[in-house]
């Protein structure tokens, strides 16, 4: 059921992005789609126990509707530390952006994620923050920190660094 819900949310986000893109006019901002790839350094931290951490990969995609708001989706996998193995994470988020300079932006993300460890999946409200620096007209490097899960007996966080290509 959780997978169906996450899939439905992702589909709605993609349709909203496509609809907003199709409605552009001469005075309106043209939505800007983007794709990114990151190295993801994750940590599973159980209450009262030893934490597990490893490195995985994350793919991001989204649409910036203007300089301040967009929608973004994450899909990640990989890495294991002892009994903790990240099978996948998937999520959909609203993205608020604060342009500091023409080539530098801070942003915050809030939405929902589903994370699967060792065939045990959980979903939860997720949030994070990051920064992005343009290194070419359509290419940026960035880093962020996300709290994907905050359960009563553990948390799952990830710090990521990577590149973003804007279309």
Query: Which percentage of the chain shows pLDDT scores above 90?
Result: 75
Provide CATH code, domain 2-166: 2.40.160.20
pLDDT at residue number 125: 98
Report the pLDDT averaged over residues 121-135: 97
Q: pLDDT-based confidence at 18, cuts 50/70/90?
A: very low
With contact defined as beta carbons under 8 Å apart, do 82 and 53 qualify? no
Q: What is the mean pLDDT of residues 89-96?
A: 98
* Mean pLDDT in residue range 62-88: 95
Average pLDDT over residues 17-26: 47
Higher pLDDT, 22 or 136: 136
Average pLDDT value for residue range 113-122: 91
Q: Which residue has the tokens 């993801």?
A: 40
Query: How many CA atoms, within 13 angstroms, populate the side-chain half-sphere of residue 142?
Result: 26
| Per-residue pLDDT reduced to its tens digit, 36-57 | 999 999 999 998 889 999 999 9
Structure tokens at 42: 């994750």
Sequence-ordered alpha helix ranges (H) in the chain? 2-22
Task: Produce one character per residue of 110-144: b if its CB has 16 or more CB atoms within 10 Å, e if not.
Answer: ebbbbbbbeeebebbebebebebebeeeeebebeb
Give this prediction's pTM: 0.82
pLDDT at 30 over 50: yes
Query: How would DSSP label each residue in 59-122?
Result: EEEEEESSSSEEEEEEEEE--EETTEEEEEEEEEEEEEEEEEETTEEEEEEEEEEEEEETTEEE
């Amino acid at each position: 059921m959780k997978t169906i819900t996450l899939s439905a949310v992702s589909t709605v986000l993609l349709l909203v992005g496509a609809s907003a893109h199709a409605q552009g006019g001469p005075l309106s901002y043209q939505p800007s789609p983007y794709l990114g790839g990151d190295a993801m350094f994750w940590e599973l931290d159980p209450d009262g126990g030893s934490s597990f951490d490893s490195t995985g990969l994350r793919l991001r995609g989204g649409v910036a509707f203007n300089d301040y708001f967009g929608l973004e989706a994450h899909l990640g996998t990989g890495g294991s530390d002892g009994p903790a193995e990240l099978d996948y994470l998937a999520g959909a988020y609203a993205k608020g952006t604060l342009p500091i300079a023409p080539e530098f932006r801070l942003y915050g993300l809030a939405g929902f994620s589903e994370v699967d460890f060792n065939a045990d999946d959980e979903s939860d409200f997720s949030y994070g923050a990051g920064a992005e620096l343009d290194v070419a007209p359509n290419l940026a490097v960035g880093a962020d920190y996300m709290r994907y899960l905050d359960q009563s007996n553990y948390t799952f966080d990830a710090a990521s660094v990577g590149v973003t290509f804007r279309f």
